[in-house]
Every structure is written in C-alpha cells, then in structure tokens.
Amino acid sequence: MRVYTEDDADPKIVKDDVVAVIGYGSQGRAHALNLHDSGCKVLVGVRPDGPGAKRATEDGLEVATVAEAARQAKLIAVLTPDMTHEQIFKDDIEPNLKDGDALLFAHGFTVLYGRVTPPENVDVIMVAPKGPGGLVRSEYERGRGVPSLFAVHQDATGKAKEKALAYASLIGGASAGVIETTFREETETDLFGEQAVLCGGASELVIAGFETLVEAGYQPEIAYYECLHELKLIVDLFYEGGISRMHDFISETAKYGDFVSGPRVINAETKQRMKEVLKDIQNGSFAHDWIVENQAGKVRYNQMLRADLEHPIEKTGKELRARMSWLKPGANTKEN
C-alpha cells in the first residue's frame, strides 16, 4: 500500500482555475473554506435563497447558482447528499460541462450505481476524507489534516490522478496521508461499515443490551450508563490506539469478560449476517432499495426513524444527559 503525501501533489493543477463546490453542508463548507484558504478561486453553487447561500456569503465566499458555478469552473466538487445528485447533475451540471473539466465526488455511490453517468470528455474523480466536515475544517485550521481516500473513475485528460491528489492536498488531506482506492471499493466498504458496525451494528447492540437489562428488572438509568454512556470511553480507546490500547486501560475482569463473552454475542452467526449485508451491497440490492424508498417518499424510512427516536433508551438518555454539564453548549470552551 502506498500512502501519498504533500510531496506527491502539485496544487497548481487545481489552483490555476475556478473550483466549484456544489452544496454547503458539513463537507461542502469544510472543502470550500479549506480550498479558499489554500489560495483557490472558489465558487459555491447553491440555491440563491437557501441557508447555504446565506452561510457561505457570511463566511466570505462567492456564491452562484449551481448551473453558473458549473459553467465557470474547471473542477466541480459535488458535495450535496447522494440522492440529490441525479437531478442536480441532469439539470444544472451536465449542460455546463466542457471538455477537460473534472467532476469530483466525496463518495462513489451515485457513479457506481449509475445514478450519474458523466460524459466521456471529463475527468471523474473522488476525494473522500475519513472524517466529518467539522473535523476536516478544524484540523486544517490547526495546520494538519484528516486522512483521505482518492480514486479515478474516468481519466479523460490524462491528469485525473494529479487533480485528485492536488485537491486532497488543498483541503489538508495529503498532510495526513492519502490512499488510492476505487469508486467500488470506497462505496462498498463505506456502506458496509455504516450498516454492519458503525451505525446499524452499534445502535442495535446498544439497544439490545439496554432491553436485556431492563427486561431483567434493572433500572433503565443504570442500563443506559452501562450500555450507551460508557461506550464512548471504549470507542475513544479504540480510536486512539486500537484494541491493544483498550486492553491497556480496562480491568483484568473486563478483559476476561471480553474474551469469554464477546464471542458469545458476536459469533459465527453474526459474521454470516454481516456477509449477507455485504452481499446485498455488492450486488446492488441495497442501493436499489434505497433509491426506490426515496422515490416513494421515504414512508418506510420515516417509520423506522420514528421507532428509533421513540425507543425508551432515548427518553432515559435525554433525562440523564440534561444533568451532564460537560455536554452543554460552550461547556468545553477555554472561557469555561
């Protein structure tokens, strides 16, 4: 595996032309501000009357309609939610693409699953920071960066890879290291991680643990502390130094319980279910279902979301967190 750094990037290949950032949400804002502070000519493409336009203007950036931003730019970074890409591309971006332009995404979903099919005369690349927009911005402001992935889906100019590395450098990613991947690998591993471990797996594990204790007669507040609240402590240790760091900081009793009981909960059957999740991602079933769900108005999605938000663990957690002073806005600022 090769890790690309600042030494492998030539920012001028991107800085010499206008860069359009389409969307001004978490990633869009971070990318636009980092690009601007790196000396790029940035044009933010947003709805003129939307909150993104207002915030970008307040941040000192130039704004335009999506169509105008695409028309002026040589590199167009599409950073709106996945399900908006198809319509935005069809209505505003595709009619304004020119020979040799570069179309950049932060996630490969819409290209991999054919929701967007760029013309053959443009580069199609991806730069995907491995962190939320807020972290991408704050690390850049500290003179550092967030590790990133990059990929080339289509190289019309012979310089697509150079453009991706330049962009990664300009948003700070190259200072932390950039790894080459493909649109397929990034998309499938990202979806699997979200579904099986980070979001779906973690939340279901927490809820199942909470329910098991409450159904056995234990107080919901105690169950909340043990199954959700303290999870952050363990995840922080994982994040800082992997499983070995967790073992360095937990008791021997906790370690023994880990060894003998962890495999009873997460076992061969669990792994088989994970393989089924991965198969649905790889064969396109998940993408198809999610696209159809959006087209149908997200009725089932909203029902499942409501069930999560109305679960007893949410009521218990809200009451307990209200007493945690360190979670209140501004509690961790220097003034406090």
Q: pLDDT per residue over 7-24, tens digit each?
A: 999 999 999 999 999 999
**Which pLDDT does position 188 carry in this prediction?**
98
- Residue 216 is encoded by which pair of tokens? 């056995």
Q: Which of 52-61, 166-175, 183-192, 320-329 has the lowest mean pLDDT?
A: 320-329
Q: Is the pLDDT of residue 147 over 90?
A: yes
> What distance in Å separates the CA atoms of residue 321 and residue 327, rounded to the nearest whole number?
7
Query: Which residue, among 295, 311, 52, has the nearest Cα to 207 in the 3D structure?
Result: 311
Q: What's the CATH number for 3-181?
A: 3.40.50.720
* Burial (0-12, 13-18, 19+ Cβ within 10 Å), 91: exposed
- Residue 188 is encoded by which pair of tokens? 């499938």
Q: How far apart are the first and last CA of the chain?
A: 44
Write the secondary structure of the chain as one string of H (helix), E (strand) and C (coil).
CCEECHHHCCCHHHHCCEEEEECCCHHHHHHHHHHHHCCCEEEEECCCCCHHHHHHHHCCCEEECHHHHHHHCCEEEECCCHHHHHHHHHHHHHHHCCCCCEEEECCCHHHHCCCCCCCCCCEEEEEEECCCHHHHHHHHHCCCCCCEEEEEEECCCCCHHHHHHHHHHHCCHHHCCEEECCHHHHHHHHHHHHHHHHCHHHHHHHHHHHHHHHHCCCCHHHHHHHHHHCHHHHHHHHHHHHHHHHHHHCCHHHHHHHHHHHHHHCCHHHHHHHHHHHHHHHCCHHHHHHHHHHHCCCHHHHHHHHHHHCCHHHHHHHHHHCCCHHHCCCCCCCCC
- Asked about 311 being catalytic, the answer comes back as no
pTM to 2 decimals? 0.92
**Which pLDDT does position 258 carry in this prediction?**
96
Average confidence (pLDDT) over 162-187:
97
**Which pLDDT does position 334 carry in this prediction?**
52
**Of 49 and 160, the one with more pLDDT:** 160
> What distance in Å separates the CA atoms of residue 23 and residue 273, rounded to the nearest whole number?
36
> What percent of the chain has pLDDT above 90?
96
> What distance in Å separates the CA atoms of residue 37 and residue 42, rounded to the nearest whole number?
10
> What distance in Å separates the CA atoms of residue 92 and residue 112, rounded to the nearest whole number?
20
**Catalytic-labelled residue, pool 107, 247, 288, 311:** 107
- Residue 264 is encoded by which pair of tokens? 């009873």
User: Tokens 């570069």 map to which residue?
Assistant: 102
Tell how strand 178-180 and strand 102-105 pair up. unpaired
Domain boundaries, the chain: 3-181, 194-327
Q: How confident is the model at residue 149 (pLDDT cuts 50, 70, 90)?
A: very high
**Which pLDDT does position 336 carry in this prediction?**
43
Average confidence (pLDDT) over 163-170:
98
Amino acid letter, 260: V
Q: How far is CA 234 from the centre of its chain?
A: 22
Query: Which residue, among 102, 91, 105, has the nearest Cα to 149 in the 3D structure?
Result: 105
Q: From the annotation, which residues make up the binding site for substrate? A: 251
Q: From the annotation, which residues make up the binding site? A: 24-27, 47, 133, 190, 194, 226, 230, 251
Q: pLDDT per residue over 66-105, tens digit each?
A: 999 999 999 999 999 999 999 999 999 999 999 999 999 9
> What distance in Å separates the CA atoms of residue 216 and residue 172, rounded to the nearest whole number?
50
Q: From the annotation, which residues make up the binding site for Mg(2+)? A: 190, 194, 226, 230
> What distance in Å separates the CA atoms of residue 166 and residue 164, rounded to the nearest whole number?
5
